[in-house]
Amino acid sequence: MNQNQWKIINYYKSLESRLGYTFLTWDTKHFGYYPSKRRDISEKKAQILMMDLVAQKLELKNKDFVLDAGCGRGTTSLYLAQKYGCKIIGIDIVKFELDIGERKKNQLNLIDKVNFYLKDYSDTKFPNNYFDKIFTLETLVHSPNIVKTLKEFYRILKPDGKFVLFEYSISSLDKFDHWERKMLNIINEGSAMISLGKMFHNKFPLFIKQAGFKIISDEDITEHMIPSAYRFNNFAKIPYIIIKLLNLQKYFINTTAGVEFYKMLKKKLGIYRVILANK
């Protein structure tokens, strides 16, 4: 394990992350999708709709062989395999989260449909031209070298295969004031989002093209996910008063992000994108 990998593992092993991803997001690690752009459905339903959007963008079929790159606890892999009948491999570097996915896979009787492996998505060791489709769901930010990771996805995707990224990008840093830059750095460092500081609105698509992909579509769906961010902001804002007063942001990363990153989204300093590409 290298230093960056340990940062990611330690972030997900922290008590704040374990509690939050278990009780606030029900073993998922992504925002919800609100079709009306309003909080008129439950967060759990919105999270399911975000997973359905992955399937929609990839045009998933039951014959497809799919990679969930950075699968976490495997919730999305299991949902897609169960609903759409495809076969999925989920990879991650956080073993205790993969163990949770394994238990759920057995409970759901998806042993023939889903496999989880402890792997770095920048160096998967899978054969060339192996997967029909690949997706990342709010995980590419953890890559220390975006282009290297994208080139690995390109290598293991079959010709004409589809690749979809559900990821953030940010404005140029001169659009952030001093406090916003400070908070962005704390959030990126504490949550091991190593590459978010490089994923600028105009440069992100260039990284994808540099890896060899052809971009089919590039959508800003921030308005559809921001009701989800608003929910996390509501949970975080009262404890954050004390955290901010005592200057403890780096010790409570998720709470800090719940408030500060929500403000950035509201100001369009950060946006949530769905980029579909093919090989």
Residue 2, pLDDT > 90, answer no
Contact 114, 77 (CB under 8 A): yes
Please provide residue 252's backbone torsions phi and psi, each rounded to the nearest 5 degrees: -135, 70
Residue 47, pLDDT > 90, answer yes
Which CATH fold would you assign to the domain 3-278? Rossmann fold (3.40.50)
For the residues 191-199, what does the mean pLDDT come to? 95
User: What pLDDT digit, counting tens, does each position of 88-147 carry?
Assistant: 999 999 999 999 999 999 999 999 999 999 999 999 999 999 999 999 999 999 999 999
Instruction: Give the number of other Cβ atoms within 10 Å of residue 225's Cβ.
Output: 24
Conformation bin of residue 56: beta by default, left when phi > 0, alpha when psi is -120 to 50? alpha
Give the percent of the chain with pLDDT over 70: 100
Residue 70, pLDDT > 90, answer yes
Give the percent of the chain with pLDDT over 90: 99
Write down the pLDDT at residue 226.
98
Is 177 exposed, middle or buried, given 0-12, 13-18 or 19+ CB atoms closer than 10 A? Answer: exposed
Tokens of 174: 């001169």
Maximal C-alpha separation, the chain: 54
Write down the pLDDT at residue 237.
97
What secondary structure does DSSP assign to the chain, as a single string? --HHHHHHHHHHHSHHHHHIIIIISTT--S----TTSSS-S-HHHHHHHHHHHHHHHHT--TT-EEEEET-TTSHHHHHHHHHH--EEEEEES-HHHHHHHHHHHHHTT-TTTEEEEE--TTS--PPTT-EEEEEEES-GGG-S-HHHHHHHHHHHEEEEEEEEEEEEEE--GGGS-HHHHHHHHHHHHHTT-TTGGG-BTTTHHHHHHHTT-EEEEEEE-HHHHHHHHHHHHHHHHHHHHHHHHTT-GGG-HHHHHHHHHHHHHHTTSEEEEEEEEE-
Please provide residue 232's backbone torsions phi and psi, each rounded to the nearest 5 degrees: -65, -35
- pTM: predicted TM-score of the whole model, two decimal places: 0.96
Domain range list for the chain? 3-278
Write down the pLDDT at residue 1.
78
User: What pLDDT digit, counting tens, does each position of 76-86 carry?
Assistant: 999 999 999 99
Please provide residue 176's backbone torsions phi and psi, each rounded to the nearest 5 degrees: -90, 140
pLDDT, mean over the chain: 97
For the residues 25-30, what does the mean pLDDT come to? 94
Residue 36, pLDDT > 90, answer yes
